[in-house]
A and B are shown apart, each in its own frame.
Chain A
Amino acid sequence: MLELFGYEFFRNAIISSLFMSIVCGIIGTLVVVNRMVFIAGGVSHASYGGVGLAFYYKINPIIGTTCFSLVVSLLIGALTYRKRKNLDAIIGAIWASGMAFGILLIDMTPGYNVDLMSYLFGSILAVTNGDLFFMGVTSAIVLFTICFFYREILAISYDEDFAITLGIKTKLVYFILMALIGLSIVVLIQEVGLILCIAMLTIPAYIAENFSNSLYKMMIIATVLCFAFAILGLSLSYVLNLTSGATIILFSIITLIASKSKIIFQKSKIIK
């Protein structure tokens, strides 16, 4: 096992997992406590349009995906801010149209047969130094922004109405949060792919909720859990020769079931 650390691709995978964990721990926590899982799902799937756009216009896929993902997240932000009417239907439509847009553009790209699987399920062992740089910068942006706005985000996440009475610019903070979700999705696509990234955003944070009495503690616990899942999943996928992204998710889900077994197997006391 240890000889793996001699390979650059494996070292890159470990470092990228660390960046992914920071992003997942922080943004995942906010997604879970603010009940924005469906919104994050919409952004992640719609961002496939950015992949298609990048290949069609022959630009760097990371730049294409990042720009498209930011646009989609801000669009969803504008459509969902303090609005509840038909919210799920709107997000569902953006979710599907982004993916369809991406697929059509890739179809129209002349003579190019892109490896769809690497975007759908990630390619953690193929992370380049350039990807690492992007992931490092993104993680730093996420970390700094959340530290800067921590009190405001806490107030809005707990009770948005009260936050307004404190004079907090709730709309600005909401859009910043949406932009951070968009950026995080791009990091996660590299690691586990757009199909599975929603699992990494939610599972570690959902488990961490059990053991936290404050938002920042939940973020720290979720980050540690996410890194542990990534390393253990990566090792297991190497030993069993499985797809790394899917193995990491499977490992997370088993831990989730174990941590929530008390709730899952609890006898319902509600009389129907």
Chain B
Amino acid sequence: MTDVNLLKVEKLHFSYGENKILTDVNLSINKGDFISVIGPNGSGKSTLLKLIAGILKPDSGEVKFSKNFSTNASHYVGYVPQNFTIKEEFPISVLDVVKIGRIGYIPKFQRSQKKDLEKIKEALELMEIWHLKNKKMSELSGGQKQRVLIARALATEAKILLFDEPSSNIDVDGQTKLYRILNQIKKELAIMVVTHDISIISNYITGILCVNEKVIYHTKNEVKNDLAQMLGKAKDKLCPYDLILQMVPYKVLESHWGDEEE
């Protein structure tokens, strides 16, 4: 099942003016992947997600979706932005926010169909916020808002879910619950999560994407096989993934062991 390819990123370059953000990114995402995206502030984690989501255009290179699906990225990607990007006082209810995820499925001048309402209810129930459906967004806590945005992404029926720091407003219990839910649904899709704290998510992920202008992808198997060899190296040459396995607090290092092998 994990062999079904959903996305290929090829020779992707992106910069803001003279400032290079991402260089020569190559990446392949399969069905069932649950990837944690890590890296220091300003390393290009959120930019990478926005490039995959089609929000930003690369300077060069391509983001290709599987040939089995249409070329329209909107059917593939469900994007959950950072909470602070949402307008606080906007007059909108929880139900209407999640309904936005169904735009494209509902014809012009028609109300939501039964299937749409079922998908919306399913997403809200999965995030355990169905009881909040008629509440105004501005009345919710930060964590509740975050769950509404996740429900909106789920309602799109996307093949790839992209989360930009979803745990920033959620407590430890909430994070565990969220990652457990994502772990359940990952069988049918691929998930990428930008996070600064991978202590909890490391129990569920299938790989780690280290981003710091360059992007290096580690699968769990790769790390297991090479672990013994790598641990023989100096500690500052280790990948964050290895450090996590050794229960060392996470940090992305300036020099990365993958660099040496190129």
Is residue A161 contacting chain B, with contact meaning CB distance below 8 A? Answer: yes
Inter-chain contact A218/B91, CB cutoff 8 Å: yes
A217 CB contact (under 8 Å) in B72, B79, B91, B100: B91
Nearest A residue to B89, CB-CB:
A209
Inter-chain contact B86/A158, CB cutoff 8 Å: yes
Task: Type the 1/0 row for A150-176, where 1 means its CB is closer than 8 Å to any CB of B.
Answer: 011011011101111111100000000
Please choose the segment from B30-38, B102-110, B195-203, B250-258 that sits at the chain A interface, where 4 or more of its residues have CB less than 8 A away. Answer: B102-110
Task: Type the 1/0 row for A69-83, where 1 means its CB is closer than 8 Å to any CB of B.
Answer: 000000000000000
Inter-chain contact A161/B55, CB cutoff 8 Å: yes
Residue from the set B90, B91, B93, B136 with the largest chain A CB neighbour count within 10 Å: B91
Inter-chain contact B90/A158, CB cutoff 8 Å: yes
Nearest A residue to B138, CB-CB:
A213
B104 CB contact (under 8 Å) in A166, A213, A218: A166
Inter-chain contact A162/B104, CB cutoff 8 Å: no
Whether A159 touches B81, Cβ cut-off 8 Å, given contacts A151-B106, A167-B72, A217-B91, is: yes
Inter-chain contact A167/B100, CB cutoff 8 Å: no
Q: Which residues on A sit within 8 Å (CB–CB) of B104?
A: 166-167
Whether A166 touches B53, Cβ cut-off 8 Å, given contacts A152-B103, A218-B91, is: no
B91 CB contact (under 8 Å) in A159, A162, A165, A215: A215
Whether A158 touches B55, Cβ cut-off 8 Å, given contacts A166-B104, A213-B91, A218-B91, is: no
Whether A151 touches B103, Cβ cut-off 8 Å, given contacts A161-B79, A161-B85, A162-B79, is: yes
Is residue A33 contacting chain B, with contact meaning CB distance below 8 A? Answer: yes
Q: Which residues on B sit within 8 Å (CB–CB) of A147?
A: 109
CA distance A159 to B93 in the complex (A): 14
CA distance A195 to B102 in the complex (A): 41
Whether A165 touches B152, Cβ cut-off 8 Å, given contacts A152-B103, A158-B100, A214-B92, is: no
Task: Type the 1/0 row for A21-41, where 1 means its CB is closer than 8 Å to any CB of B.
Answer: 000000000000100000000
Is residue B214 contacting chain A, with contact meaning CB distance below 8 A? Answer: no
Inter-chain contact B91/A33, CB cutoff 8 Å: yes
Residue from the set B72, B93, B96 with the largest chain A CB neighbour count within 10 Å: B96
Q: Which residues on B sit within 8 Å (CB–CB) of A165?
A: 53-55, 73-74, 77-79, 156
Number of A interface residues in the complex (CB < 8 A) = 25
Is residue A60 contacting chain B, with contact meaning CB distance below 8 A? Answer: no
Q: Which residues on B sit within 8 Å (CB–CB) of A159?
A: 81, 85-87, 100
CA distance A218 to B77 in the complex (A): 31
Is residue B50 contacting chain A, with contact meaning CB distance below 8 A? Answer: yes
Inter-chain contact A161/B100, CB cutoff 8 Å: no
Tier of interface size on chain B: 20 to 34
| Chain B interface residues toward A at CB < 8 A | 50, 53-55, 72-75, 77-79, 81, 85-87, 89-93, 96-97, 100-101, 103-104, 106, 108-109, 134, 136, 152, 156
Q: Which residues on B sit within 8 Å (CB–CB) of A161?
A: 50, 53, 55, 79, 81, 85
Whether A164 touches B54, Cβ cut-off 8 Å, given contacts A148-B108, A155-B100, A214-B96, is: yes
Is residue A145 contacting chain B, with contact meaning CB distance below 8 A? Answer: no
Nearest A residue to B75, CB-CB:
A167
Chain A residues 210 to 266 lying within 8 A of chain B, measured CB to CB, are 212-215, 217-218
Inter-chain contact B55/A214, CB cutoff 8 Å: no
Q: 8 more A-B contacts (CB under 8 A) besides A162-B152, A165-B55, A213-B92?
A: A158-B100, A165-B54, A165-B74, A166-B74, A166-B101, A167-B73, A168-B103, A213-B93
Minimum C-beta distance from A177 to chain B (A):
16
Q: Which residues on B sit within 8 Å (CB–CB) of A217?
A: 91
Residue from the set A147, A151, A163, A213 with the largest chain B CB neighbour count within 10 Å: A213
Q: Which residues on A sit within 8 Å (CB–CB) of B77?
A: 165
Minimum C-beta distance from B107 to chain A (A):
11
Whether A164 touches B81, Cβ cut-off 8 Å, given contacts A33-B87, A155-B100, A217-B91, is: no
Nearest B residue to A166, CB-CB:
B74
Sample 20 A-B pairs with CB under 8 A, ordered by A number: A33-B90, A147-B109, A148-B108, A155-B100, A158-B90, A159-B86, A159-B87, A161-B85, A164-B53, A165-B54, A165-B55, A165-B73, A165-B78, A166-B101, A166-B103, A166-B156, A212-B91, A214-B93, A214-B96, A217-B91
